[in-house]
A and B are shown apart, each in its own frame.
Chain A
Amino acid sequence: MAYALQQLINGLTLGSMYGLIAIGYTMVYGIIGMINFAHGDIFMVSAFIAVTAFTLLAAADVTSVPLALTFVLIVSIFFTSAYGWAVERIAYRPLRGSTRLAPLISAIGMSIFLQNAVQLTQGARVKPIPPVIQGGLEVWSTPEFTVQIGWSQLLIIAVTVVMMVGFTWLITQTPFGRQQRSCEQDRTMASLLGINVDRTISFTFMLGASLAAVAGVMVTVYYGVIDFYIGFLAGIKAFTAAVLGGIGSLPGAMLGGLLIGLIESFWSAYLWAEYKDVATFAILVLVLMLRPSGLLGRPEVEKV
């Protein structure tokens, strides 16, 4: 029981990070209907930026953890959203309005490019940083097992909740959110009504990249080790999460992320850890067979 509770906590932590990345996929899919394959690599870039920023802070003898975290988050969000913007501008905008497959191939190319660019400029070895947040809260202690929530896990869950609240506010209450949603519904109509569609799409990419940047900083804090290859698997898992929750739906992305995180941690704890990715994909296939539009997605009605 205690062991299961621990897995629940671990799963929620992992799931929050997947959820943050998944929102980037689902938003981009909602607005321009393409899989932004490079999103996982944007997340990876943000983790590298976080490592550099943490190392800089350590060199400058900054010991206050909240200060350091805020600084790293801001720096990482700034640079990562610049990457999100640039990727859209270079690889996707010229392809808007062409076949559906063209931006996908361009995205895969971008993903390969980013991965190798980081490998070349930052090195192929893993990057370890000293633990930023140590210790945790003992929740429940039984003779065999002690359930512990690490401070870093609490931080991740808290930051995710804050980001989700802020994000929901941004999408539902602000002028930008209205523009974003109207572009999602009908881009031509939105542009006729005076909305700058190009700018809205750019902002969407930057927002998605910022959330990925938050996830990147959290991964760096949580695991303390990153390499240039983390983007691929995290990206695929997050995309799976977005599809599971119903692509195009923001709460769906978060729900899908949490589910994938929980499935992964329970599966590795009780069954075979080496087949945890198989479990993720198998469950995805099952869900899609029964509900092809995902858990919270609206079914696509096709008119002739």
Chain B
Amino acid sequence: MSAVVFARHQITPAERLRDAGWVAFVALILGIPLIGLTTVDAGGSLEVSTRFGLLAACVVAAFGGRLGLRWMIDTMGARKLERQRADTGKSVGISPVKVVNVIGWIALGASIALPIMYSDNRYVVDTATTVLIYVMLGWGLNVVVGLAGLLDLGYVAFYAVGAYSYALLSTQYGWGFWEALPVSGGLAATFGILLGYPILRLRGDYLAIVTLGFGEIIRIILVNWTEFSNGPNGISSIPRPTLFGLEFSRSAAEGEQTFSTFFGIDYSPMHRLIFLYYLILVLALLTHAFVSRLRKLPIGRAWEALREDEIACQAMGMNTTNIKLSAFAIGAMLGGFAGMFFAARQGFISPESFTFTESAIILAIVVLGGMGSQMGVVLAATLLVLIPEFGRNFSEYRMLLFGAAMVLIMVWKPSGLLSHREPTLRLSRGGARNQDALEEAAQ
């Protein structure tokens, strides 16, 4: 009995039909109250109108969709099984780490070349800038969630602190982008510590709900404290960043020069967009370099240790208070920088931009990308920004599509798109050699 082969249970067509029929039945039940019936305003009072045609179409679509999905799962499953049988004993040739590294360099090259290739396409450069803002936010949140393992549902609060501190400093006190940059980051970090301190004892979902509450508190204060933040109307005409004092406008102020006159080229509004793009690219790359370096420092290793086992950390004599607070502060600071850039780019901010949905999107980027994976964040941010953009033609469906995509990607790849977690520390060459020697000695 050496070759026991478990035959895959073959599903008969009748079973497939029954399965799809069941799904269609569920779709019918779910569809009746929302799709089949709807209430419309008929002169002051509501009236029920029916859409049974649409409902029938949805039920048929569910039936067909289930049949197709089932067929796909079965054939793919069979193929995978065959591949596994054929593969026994062979190992994968290329390490996934190397592949990701190569893709990273390609992505970097592409992102540097993008504004040159699309120098007259406003839309592409704008969208790419948005992607990069989310990449930066994702990398910032990755410190808190991915590395330190602290679930933060209110990250948008720090984004808001950064954005509002620049907006107020520049419109009220006339500060420039570059002077305000460290101050905004510092303020956001302070808020991170302020939030972090009282909730150090909490963990897991308690932490999640308190951070969510903190994010909402900040937003509610911004909406209601009109003297401070101008309430729901927001703050407008926030000055744009300059390039060493060179403005990106058609005409310069007294005694100043614009970018175009300084370099003796014709003025084009695209210059500013491209400058903003490169600015956020540089900021994001700095963030990446900063976080990657931190991961190799004792503090970064402490974060990862904390994520894996808090009790063990305490037993090793690590100061968990400082470790958690530093993660919150650094994550918040990066969020503050991103928020500041956002304010400078938009020129207008209001509490509308800092709702819970935004926090959810940033968290989704980190988790969908694969927690702790820097490249995963890039991939997920690109996907999540582009999905609604593709849906722009049928704009009312874009958030619907977005929600469905979040569920589907999660169900398809629960540990994230790039879940491969590389060890931050490797054995040195000497260590590896010793390891070999040990193994040889053991044999």
Contacts and interface: CB of A to CB of B under 8 A. Distances in A.
A304 B311 contact: yes
Interface string B208-221: 11101110110011
A105 B33 contact: no
Interface in A27-43: 29, 35
Nearest to A100: B204
Interface stretch (B76-84, B341-349, B406-414): B406-414
B360 A112 contact: yes
Interface of B is mostly: helix
Interface string A120-135: 1111010111100000
Nearest to B410: A106
Contacts of B145: 101
Contacts of A91: 407, 410-411
B367 A117 contact: no
Interface residues on B, range: 35 or more
Contacts of A90: 407, 411
Specify which of A99, A104, A114, A282 lies most central, judged by the most chain B CB atoms within 10 Å of its CB: A104
Contact of A98 (B26, B223, B415): B415
A4 interface: no
A112 B403 CA distance: 5
A289 B39 contact: no
Contacts of B364: 105, 108-109
Given A95-B410, A277-B216, A112 B39 contact: no
B47 A59 contact: yes
A86 B399 CA distance: 20
Contacts of A58: 45
Interface string B183-226: 00000000000000011011011101110111011001101100
Contacts of A280: 213
Contacts of A272: 224
Interface string A22-65: 00000001000001000000000100110110011011000000
A278 B407 contact: no
Contacts of B47: 55, 59
A116 interface: yes
Contacts of A275: 220-221, 224
Contacts of B404: 109, 113
A68 interface: no
Contact of A52 (B39, B367, B405, B410): B39
B34 A236 contact: no
Interface stretch (A144-152, A170-178, A190-198, A239-247): A239-247
A304 B360 CA distance: 33
A3 interface: no
A83 B223 CA distance: 34
Given A45-B34, A52-B39, A86-B30, A112 B217 contact: no
Interface residues on A, range: 35 or more
Contacts of B396: 120
A51 B46 contact: yes
A130 B45 CA distance: 8
B48 interface: yes
Contacts of B402: 109, 112
B363 interface: yes
Contacts of A284: 209-210, 213
A79 interface: yes
A96 B408 CA distance: 15
B180 interface: no
A274 interface: yes
A285 B210 contact: yes
Nearest to A285: B210
A274 B32 CA distance: 38
A102 B403 contact: no
Contact of A106 (B201, B206, B213, B407): B407
A103 to B, nearest CB: 8
A270 B198 CA distance: 27
A86 B26 contact: yes
Contacts of A129: 46
24 contacts: A35-B205, A45-B34, A48-B34, A52-B33, A55-B39, A79-B29, A79-B33, A91-B411, A94-B414, A95-B411, A101-B371, A106-B407, A106-B410, A109-B402, A109-B407, A112-B399, A112-B400, A113-B406, A117-B400, A236-B212, A236-B216, A239-B209, A289-B198, A289-B199
Given A109-B404, A128-B46, A285-B198, 6 more contacts: A52-B48, A56-B48, A83-B30, A122-B38, A243-B206, A275-B220
Interface of B: 26, 29-30, 32-35, 37-41, 45-48, 145, 151, 198-199, 201-202, 204-206, 208-210, 212-214, 216-217, 220-221, 223-224, 311-312, 356-357, 360, 363-364, 367-368, 371, 396-397, 399-400, 402-407, 410-411, 414-415
